[in-house]
Amino acid sequence: IVVVGTNDSTVVAFKAENGRMLWSFPCGGAVKASIAFDAKRNLAIWGSHDGKFYGVDVLSGKEIFSIKTGNTVYSTPLVVDDFLYVASTDKFLYVFDLEKKEIVRKIRTHGKLYSSPRLIDGLVYFGSNDGMVRVLDPKTNELCNTLALPERITCGITKSKTENLFYAKTYDDQIFAFSSV
């Protein structure tokens, strides 16, 4: 199944083998980032410009949950075990328990979040428009480290497999490399 978001406020699922549409789900705003998948619960998960993040059954297109944030969700959510991490431009990273279907933590930053959270070496990394790289331990959902950069971080943090360096792209198109956070 291929699931894609659109600028016309719709998420659509297609059968990969033949391109046949399986379902269409209307949102209240455009879906600008990629769709995340939760294989354990068979969910497609995304954020929308309507300020919500959605979880929908992959096969049926039936809504399982929708959670309102304080502003646009411009990034791709991250599923780690039973938790979902969603960055919002309301300056919060939402930690959502996928089993209980409830927010268990909101981590406040001092800048809007456009950077998709990423799982690297067992930890969740995310950047924000306050120039901070934050690291979260998904076992405790507590922040375990931070790093200040001189510019707004708008893309997901990545790590080189060969050089053991982390990379962060900023709003002014600079790329910063660092060895640890």
The per-residue pLDDT for range 111-123, each reduced to its tens digit, is 999 999 999 999 9
User: Once rounded to an integer, what is the mean pLDDT over residues 85-107?
Assistant: 98
> Please, which pLDDT band fits residue 181 given cuts at 50, 70 and 90?
confident
The percentage of residues in the chain with a pLDDT greater than 70, rounded to a whole number, is 100
User: Read out DSSP for the chain?
Assistant: -EEEE-TTSEEEEE-TTT--EEEEEE-SS---SPPEEETTTTEEEEE-TTSEEEEEETTT--EEEEEE-SS---S--EEETTEEEEE-TTSEEEEEETTTTEEEEEEE-SS---SPPEEETTEEEEE-TTSEEEEEETTTTEEEEEEE-SS-B-S--EE-TTT--EEEEBTTS-EEEES--
User: Once rounded to an integer, what is the mean pLDDT over residues 12-23?
Assistant: 97
Entry pTM: 0.96
How confident is the model at residue 180, as a pLDDT? 82
User: Once rounded to an integer, what is the mean pLDDT over residues 49-62?
Assistant: 98
Task: Evaluate if residue 50 carries a pLDDT over 90.
Answer: yes
